């Protein structure tokens, strides 16, 4: 078992990567002087993975929402649930399902070894029966209905449904009441045995720990897994959007907007350099120090809740501007006009340098947070990215790099404005 030391000459820091004999990839990021420890155990399996094939076998299609459903069910066992076990160690535990991953996590200041054993045990111990699966349908059904009434949730998914015609990123992570009614123990075991193979998973621990401690627990708790080739299948996605505007009526104090720009996405996620360049560019475009933000604020078109993000995964990539405004259409037009002007006239050198320094500063500051470190390393493992390479890309970015990235992004013809207005 080789322990690979990953160093940053720029930061004079290091962490460790191990391919465990079980098949699991393990990262350990010791943080001197920290009293807390954070661990995340995740699988490269999310809501978009509803059609797949294993080892070139038959294609399997499962109900929408099953990854999220599986996350809920894994906490249960014949002897109780994992939260009751964590209560005895004092750890704060949670889990989440996104479009492309499912993760189980905890943080603690004491009893780290016992808490890590619990994490590795329950995630490897599925227990699904017809009765428990049916019981959960009502609980998750209520959760789905709650999100259906959430303006912030609906404004995003309405946008995604217009941006994407075929890709399952357009489908709610939890599925629908109708789709989860189709979930059976057999479906859950099929998905579990496919995606919860340790070769498809990652464990990342950061904070008050060391490699030897983590590996000794891994040796004790992990079951060896045979590698299997998983082929995620997606229908071919058109390069266009279905419509440029969508509106829904829900009770809101002020109209909400999501302006999304669809980017052509390949089978693999964007690399570290592209991600770093994108974050510099978006900071330059729409941070609270940008000309665009000041213009929108000066005209009383947005409030401090205005934000931006890049949402990307296997087969999808979207730049999103979101917020509240009494005139969403005007906000959208000003953003588009500003992007067009930037593409035509170029990026100001001084604005680029400010954005680069700020983005680099944020990246460095985030290394003070053990939960951020563990989460980003886990996510980067699933996307074949590496943390220090990403930070180096930001530090070494040039104006030409950012200009080239701008040319690939935010095509007005591939944009959707989603609005929620009061009834």
For residues 95 and 146, state if they share a domain: yes
Residue 116 and residue 86 in contact, taking contact as beta carbons nearer than 8 Å: no
Would strands 60-61 and 245-249 be described as parallel, antiparallel, or unpaired?
A: unpaired
For residues 195 and 287, state if they share a domain: no
For residues 261 and 220, state if they share a domain: no
- Give the CATH number of the domain where residue 81 resides: 3.30.830.10
For residues 147 and 216, state if they share a domain: yes
Last residue of a domain, one of 232, 260, 292: 232
Residue 116 and residue 67 in contact, taking contact as beta carbons nearer than 8 Å: no
Q: Residue 275's pLDDT is what?
A: 97
Residue 166 and residue 236 in contact, taking contact as beta carbons nearer than 8 Å: yes
Q: Residue 183's pLDDT is what?
A: 94
Q: Which of 71, 279, 312, 324 is catalytic?
A: 71
Q: Residue 21's pLDDT is what?
A: 95
Within a domain: 75: yes
Within a domain: 238: no
Other C-beta atoms within 10 Å of 162: how many? 21
For residues 184 and 331, state if they share a domain: no
For residues 182 and 220, state if they share a domain: yes
Within a domain: 142: yes
Within a domain: 152: yes
Reply yes or no on whether 71 is catalytic.
yes
Q: What is the pLDDT of residues 294-325, one digit of tens each?
A: 999 999 999 999 999 999 999 999 999 999 99
Take residue 104 and report the two structure tokens written for it.
């189980």
Take residue 420 and report the two structure tokens written for it.
């929620």
Which parts of the chain sit beneath pLDDT 50? none
For residues 278 and 406, state if they share a domain: yes
What total of structural domains would you count in the chain?
A: 2
Within a domain: 410: yes
Provide the residue range defining the domain that includes 53: 3-232
DSSP secondary structure string, 229-275? -EEE--PPPPSS-S-SEEEEE---SS-EEEEEEE----SSPP-HHHH
């Amino acid at each position: 078992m080789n322990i690979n030391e990953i160093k940053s000459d720029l930061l004079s820091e290091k962490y460790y990567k191990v391919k465990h004999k079980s098949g699991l990839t393990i990262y350990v990021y010791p943080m001197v002087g920290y009293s807390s420890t954070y661990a995340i155990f995740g699988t490269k399996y999310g809501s978009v993975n509803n059609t797949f094939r294993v080892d070139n076998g038959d294609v399997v299609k499962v109900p929408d929402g099953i990854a999220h459903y599986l996350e809920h069910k894994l906490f249960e066992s014949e002897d109780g649930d994992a939260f009751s076990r964590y209560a005895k160690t004092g750890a704060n535990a949670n889990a989440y399902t996104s479009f492309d991953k499912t993760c189980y996590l905890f943080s603690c200041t004491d009893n780290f070894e016992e808490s890590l054993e619990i994490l590795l045990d329950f995630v490897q111990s599925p227990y699904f029966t017809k009765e428990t699966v049916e019981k959960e349908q009502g609980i998750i059904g209520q959760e789905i209905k709650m999100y259906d009434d959430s303006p912030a949730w609906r404004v995003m998914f309405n946008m995604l449904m217009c941006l994407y015609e075929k890709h399952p990123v357009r489908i709610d992570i939890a599925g629908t009441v109708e789709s989860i009614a189709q979930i059976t123990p057999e479906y859950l075991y099929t998905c579990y045995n496919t995606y919860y193979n340790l070769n498809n998973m990652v464990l990342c621990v950061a904070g008050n720990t060391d490699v030897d401690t983590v590996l000794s627990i891994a040796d004790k708790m992990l079951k060896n897994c045979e590698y299997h080739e998983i082929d995620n299948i997606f229908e071919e996605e058109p390069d266009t959007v279905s419509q440029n505007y969508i509106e829904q009526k829900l009770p809101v104090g002020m109209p909400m907007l999501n302006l999304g720009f669809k980017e052509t996405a390949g089978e693999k996620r964007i690399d570290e350099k592209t991600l770093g360049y994108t974050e510099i560019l978006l900071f330059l475009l729409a941070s609270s120090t940008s000309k665009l933000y000041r213009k929108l604020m000066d005209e009383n078109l947005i409030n401090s809740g205005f934000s931006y993000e890049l949402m990307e995964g296997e087969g999808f990539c979207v730049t999103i501007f979101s917020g509240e405004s009494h005139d969403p259409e005007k906000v959208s037009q000003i953003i588009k006009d500003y992007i067009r002007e930037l593409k035509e006239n170029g990026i100001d050198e001084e604005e680029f340098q400010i954005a680069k320094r700020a983005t680099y500063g944020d990246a460095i500051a985030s290394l003070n947070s053990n939960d951020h470190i563990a989460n980003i390393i886990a996510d980067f493992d699933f996307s074949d990215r590496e943390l220090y390479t990403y930070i180096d890309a930001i530090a070494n970015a040039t104006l030409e790099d950012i200009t080239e990235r701008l040319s690939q992004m935010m095509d007005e013809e591939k944009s959707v404005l989603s609005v929620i207005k009061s009834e």
